[in-house]
Amino acid sequence: MTTDRSALVSRARRIVLKVGSSSLTTAAGGIDPARVRRLVEVLAAARGAGAEIVLVSSGAIAAGLAPLGLAARPRGLAAQQAAASVGQGLLAHRYQEEFARHGIVTGQVLLTVDDVTRRAHYRNAHQTFAKLLELGVVPIVNENDTVATSEIRFGDNDRLAALVAHLVHADLLVLLSDVDGLYDGPPSRPGSRLVPVVRSDDDLAAVTIGSAGASGVGTGGMTTKVDAARIATGAGIDVILTSADQAAAALSGTDVGTLFTATGKRRPTRLLWLAHATSGQGTLTLDAGAVRAVVERRASLLAAGITAVDGGFVAGDAVDLLGPDGTLVARGLVNFDADELPALLGRSTRELKDALGAAYEREVIHRDDLVLL
């Protein structure tokens, strides 16, 4: 893979750009119109040069703080969801106004994990993005914070951006931060140096990465950005990490920030989401034969190979598959509720059909819904 930035960016026909809360808001938590306008001007210029743009934007919760009279990001889930409900509309409206200045239509896409791991939902999400881009719309993406249940975040919007980049078949992912790239130590420490190119994890061996943002309004840090870069590059997508102030330079092919070069090939998109956007709602412990079947033969998981069930999951949930020694080997979407499975363990599909009916002659997890970890 070439590290020539100009060539890399010029051939990128579809670009996903992620911007964080700290790059969009004031210190008090409200939307900064000047920052939003500058960002949109950069994206409109990229559109004018022939690229399709998908924008993953944080800032909904931060934008809702000031209207609600909140001095800081609340800790409680209900308060975060209330702030997101107020702020998401304000943020979307601001983007709509700014893009309209350039004759560009925007569309809001709010995602949950279910939208991209459950098969029917995933198809709908994929088709929606495809149609928006076909119609010349700039999709503006965020997690549906208002209805998030387990956490307010997918994990973080950096990860969301990496997964969206794969979902829309992007050529390039640009992660904008409040730091101008990846450094080998804290950027404020004398002697810390910018890492211009990361071709593999070997280039990260001497890098000390922090884990928290400094702005107080966002949730991500450099760790989440590097993790997102790993997801994207492992799926065949180049990544540029730089600051919002250098967005125009990055999209013009200038050597700014840190370039993470693609290391892998594209894989089935839904399985990428299953591996990186979900957590197991329970566990299934397998015997040695079932582990070999799943890992080596990439076979479906049958009830006969399961020795134990733990958790309160329902059919369609993601569950983790453990080996006899408790080692995590895979994750998949289960076809039975947790309370149904104990009666099925160790029994063949033929036996289950004879005893319980044809509805039980099916895999516990189909191989198309399994990803190795």
* Class of residue 361 by CB neighbours under 10 A (exposed 0-12, middle 13-18, buried 19+): middle
CA–CA separation, 174 and 15 (whole Å):
7
Write out the two tokens for 15: 């670009």
Q: Which residues, including other chains, have CB under 8 Å from residue 191's CB and lie 6 or more apart?
A: 185
DSSP state of 365: B
- Which one, of 283, 330, 336, 334, lies nearest residue 311 by Cα? 283
Is the Cα dihedral 330, 336, 337, 343 positive or negative? negative
Note the pLDDT tens digit of each residue in 114-161: 676 666 677 788 899 999 999 999 999 988 766 655 543 455 788 889
Per-residue model confidence (pLDDT) at position 268: 64
Type and span of the H or E element at 227: helix 222-234
Per-residue model confidence (pLDDT) at position 145: 64
Tokens 């966002």 map to which residue? Answer: 218
Percent of the chain at pLDDT exceeding 90: 50
The structural domains of the chain, ordered by start, are 5-273 (3.40.1160.10), 279-372 (2.30.130.10)
Is the Cα dihedral 358, 363, 365, 366 positive or negative? negative
Per-residue model confidence (pLDDT) at position 364: 94
CA–CA separation, 2 and 356 (whole Å):
58
Per-residue model confidence (pLDDT) at position 219: 42
Per-residue model confidence (pLDDT) at position 148: 57
Residue 232 backbone dihedrals phi, psi, to 5 degrees = -70, -50
DSSP state of 343: G
Per-residue model confidence (pLDDT) at position 119: 64
Q: CA distances (Å), 101 to each of 18, 97, 189, 294, 339, in order?
A: 21, 7, 41, 54, 56
C-alpha angle 129-275-204 in degrees, rounded to nearest 5: 100
Phi-psi region of 341 (alpha: psi -120 to 50; beta: other; left: phi over 0): alpha
Pick out the chain residues at pLDDT < 70.
1-3, 27-29, 114, 116-120, 145-155, 210-220, 266-270, 277
